[in-house]
Structures are given as structure tokens and as C-alpha cells.
Amino acid sequence: MKIIMLGAPGAGKGTQAKKIAEKYMIPHISTGDIFRANIKGGTELGMKAKAFMDQGQLVPDEITIGMLMDRIKEDDCKNGYVLDGFPRTIPQAESLTKALADMGDAIDYAVNVDVPDEKIVSRMSGRRACLKCGATYHIVYNAPKTEGICDVCGDKLVLRDDDQPETVQKRLSVYHEQTQPLIDYYKKAGCLAEVDGTKDLDEVFQDIAAILGE
């Protein structure tokens, strides 16, 4: 089962991707993890990607696709995988479709976790992070035992810059411009599945599992 996760930043697609990976025993693949693994392993593509990243530039699509295709050819992907964070644009989606078709393969489901913008802004502005140990909280959904203090290490919790309402709005604007068209792309391809991401996390997952099949 080959799955792509779609949804705006903060929609919860990463959380759902992990749950899918656990239930169906397939790897959860994020582009960030692939980049780190290739750079750490010193692969040719990893070194090319690092050169762009070190200059603060975006890694070209052909390098990203190359690393992704190498990853999904590994043994643990033989029963499928969940892609999280890729593709982000139509050209990336078209490149992925072509690369898979060349292998005689295709995406089975593109799952869109749909959440309205205003809900995402309130969700993300409620997030708090511990910069010391990396633990994350939410003032409504997953509050720490003591307000503003990390349960794990006792350090002070902060609202990260990328969770500030203005920053979230900017990220959503980029999403609507670049990534939203993917929904139409996969709808035309006949593999789009949409779920209501405003529900409780477990309910959203139950809806996804109903689509993918128990």
C-alpha cells in the first residue's frame, strides 16, 4: 500500500502518517529523514543536497526524487510506505508519478487531512515546546502538568517562532499557492481520499483506516 499524506502545516498529517505506518507495518518516510540519512551516509546525492542546503538554497527536485526512489527500493518498502512531506508541488508530483510508472508502480492513496485555516492558526499558536529536551505540548489538547514547565525535564516551555500566528499565516499562504493544487492533481488521478482533520486524532485515524481497509 503506497500512500501520500496531504494537508496544510499543522493539520496533523505527520501524526496520522506514523499511526498508518504502525498499523499497516510499512515505513513512514519523510524527506527530512531521507536528507539526513543520505548526508550522514555520505552518498553522492546526499553530498549534492548538502551543497545546496549549505548555501541556503532549495534542493533541486531531481536530487530529492533520486534519494526518494533509492529509499523506496529498499526491502522494508516492499509492502508499501507512507510519504510525508513529499510531493509539495505539481512538478514534484509529476516527477514522482513518472518515476513510479517507470518501475511499473503507482500511488494507491493520497490522503488529504482537511482542516480550515483558522483552526490551524489556533491549534499551532497553542503549541509549546521545550527547547532543552524537545518535548512538545498544547495548552488545550496536551497541557503540561504545570503551566509553562516541561513535565520531562522541568525547563521553561516556549512558543516557537514558526508557531507564531503571523508565521503560520505565511506558511498557509505558501501551502495554498504551491501544495493545494496537489489535491486536484490526485483527484484527477483517482486516488484522492479526504478526511475531516478537525476531529479527535483517534477519530481521524479511524476514518483513514476505514478508507485504507482494516
Examine the residue annotation and report whether 123 is marked as an active-site residue of this protein. Answer: no
Grid coordinates belonging to 96: 514522482
Task: Check 119, 160, 187, 199 and give the catalytic one.
Answer: 160
Examine the residue annotation and report whether 171 is marked as an active-site residue of this protein. Answer: yes
Q: What letters, b where the CB count within 10 A reaches 16 and e where it falls short, cover 69-106?
A: bebbeeeeeeebbbbbbbbbbeebbebbbebeeeeeee
Task: Check 18, 48, 88, 199 and give the catalytic one.
Answer: 88
Say if strands 2-6 and 136-138 run parallel, antiparallel, or are unpaired.
Answer: unpaired
Task: Check 2, 13, 71, 128 and give the catalytic one.
Answer: 13
Grid coordinates belonging to 141: 489538547
For the chain, the farthest-separated pair of C-alpha atoms sits apart, in whole angstroms, at: 54
Task: Check 119, 171, 187, 199 and give the catalytic one.
Answer: 171
Task: Check 71, 123, 127, 128 and give the catalytic one.
Answer: 127
Residue bearing cell 527547547:
131
Burial class (CB in 10 A: 0-12, 13-18, 19+), 139: middle
Examine the residue annotation and report whether 128 is marked as an active-site residue of this protein. Answer: no
Residues catalogued as catalytic? 13, 88, 127, 160, 171
